[in-house]
Amino acid sequence: MAETERSIFSRIIAGEIPADVVYDSERLIAFRDIAPKAPVHLLVVPKTEEYRDVAELAAGDPELLAELVATAKHLAEEHSDGDFRLIFNTGAGAGQTVFHVHAHVMSANDRGHSLQEGTLDQL
């Protein structure tokens, strides 16, 4: 694939762009969002860029989607109290800017900063 067509997340996965990586497995990577909208804001990203959004991933590889959700839960337990919000922006009109499927995992931190219901409209 030509350099210009690769997503920014593929470049992070390849180690070409630095990221604050918190999880790395055979098929998934997770790192802190560069512009956090919650006390804990992580992105969980399949290493393949075959799927542009969660609907494509669900249709093409439901096992990988299930692994992604299980990883989100594991990360929320590790970085917060285990409660989390999972967001998949799907389409530009819904705020998607990177067309390489990824989940936003948002949760409280361990210093008493929690999520507000109103933050749902900020992504």
Q: Does residue 10 touch ligand AMP according to CB under 6 A?
A: no
* Least gap, CB of 95 to ligand AMP (angstroms): 5
Return d(Cα 84, Cα 115) in angstroms, integer.
9
Return d(Cα 105, Cα 84) in angstroms, integer.
6
Q: Which two tokens stand for residue 123?
A: 């992504």
Return d(Cα 78, Cα 86) in angstroms, integer.
15
Q: Does residue 19 touch ligand AMP according to CB under 6 A?
A: yes
Q: Does residue 119 touch ligand AMP according to CB under 6 A?
A: no
Q: Does residue 95 touch ligand AMP according to CB under 6 A?
A: yes
Active-site positions read 102
Q: Does residue 55 touch ligand AMP according to CB under 6 A?
A: no
Count of residues in contact with ligand AMP, rule CB under 6 A: 13
Q: Tell me phi and psi for residue 2, to 5 degrees.
A: -65, 150
Q: Which of 6, 56, 67, 89 binds ligand AMP (CB under 6 A)?
A: 89
